[in-house]
Structure 1
């Protein structure tokens, strides 16, 4: 799983609930446990059961990631879910960097006799589940925000959408076709409501 996929997936745990509000997929330890299991390959975590401490740590990290996503989409507007409650950038950076540094790592090289070399990252000392999780998520966010895909990041501004997405083509304005449809319908209704009878 690419760093941008993991970082985006973390941010997208805040979503429209289908009823006009915002839902949080990480609202309980069980929700976090499910999410981690769904992303186990990208996280390098095989077995994980969340508790309230892990949930709080991941939610704090997610708030930092979403604040930095809002900065990344400037001068565009941030997601409507974040617009009034963004962390200050300095605090978001401090949270992200602290989480990434919580588990020091080393690069290892493996080069079997009849194969090409491969590298992998290994924790330099044992870490608890929660530290390993937040460090992996923070490193994915750092890699994404410092990488070339950051320039493709956009906030979807379709009615009721709170998602961030990567712009895949020059004319893309929304995260998915259903959001584009909602935006066009809303513009149509607004145009006909303001036209003189």
Structure 2
């Protein structure tokens, strides 16, 4: 039986958005969009509608150090499980020294999802098939709503067929994960493909010059 979906198309978007707060900084290093309380506040504000649909209406959310630490810990668990999902291919280069033991990553995910209990609700638009959404059964601190919604999205994504389309982009300097949209797709975006082709060309040139 396929895993129930949180909201159509919302699950992979939320989970990937969280993972991709770790990115290349354009200078050869790694940038973190959640590098401080202000970064978390901006990230949450930009996704207010999606988070509300996912069961986390965050109108009263105020980012603080505790919330930042919790979201970053959840992100580490998600990226660890992403690395597992893309095996036997290597993980994102950003994760080489940051992966958790698998059991610890799963426990973090479960603990975050359990912060706010939810119940399934059937929605059935007149012109579409019925679907299951998940609605909090109790109110809680906004930070708990945020953690629980993100963890549930990650759980449902990793249990779904979408997981098999997950890839780590290995173009030079890229550290992104992406969903493969067609059989020949190798890179997360065209600019990464261009960099990879240029790098391959230079590598061939060096080998030929050395012969």
- Cα deviation 1:36-92 (Å, max 9, x = unaligned): 111111211242221000000000000000000000000110000001220111000
**How much has 1:120 moved relative to structure 2?**
4.4
Q: How far, CA to CA, are the matches of 1:118 and 1:15 in structure 2? A: 34
Q: How far, CA to CA, are the matches of 1:105 and 1:189 in structure 2? A: 53
Q: Is 1:3 equivalent to 2:11 in the alignment?
A: yes
Alignment-derived partner of residue 35 in structure 2:
27
Q: How far, CA to CA, are the matches of 2:73 and 2:180 in structure 1? A: 26
Given candidates 154, 157, 162, the residue that maps to 1:141 is 154
| Alignment CA distance shift 1:117-1:166 (3 Å) | closer
With normalisation by structure 1, the TM-score equals: 0.93
**How much has 1:122 moved relative to structure 2?**
2.5
Residue ranges of structure 2 left out of the alignment (5+ in a row): 1-8
Alignment-derived partner of residue 84 in structure 2:
71
Residue ranges of structure 1 left out of the alignment (5+ in a row): none
Q: Secondary structure at the match of 1:41?
A: helix
Given candidates 163, 169, 173, the residue that maps to 1:150 is 163
Q: How far, CA to CA, are the matches of 1:64 and 1:83 in structure 2? A: 14
The 5 A counterparts of 1:47-196 are: 47=59, 48-108=61-121, 120-196=133-209
Given candidates 17, 20, 40, the residue that maps to 1:12 is 20
Q: How far, CA to CA, are the matches of 1:22 and 1:41 in structure 2? A: 28
Given candidates 40, 44, 51, the residue that maps to 2:48 is 40
Q: How many residues align?
A: 194
Segment drifting more, 122-131 vs 135-144: 122-131
Query: CA RMSD for the aligned pairs?
Result: 1.9
**How much has 1:196 moved relative to structure 2?**
3.4
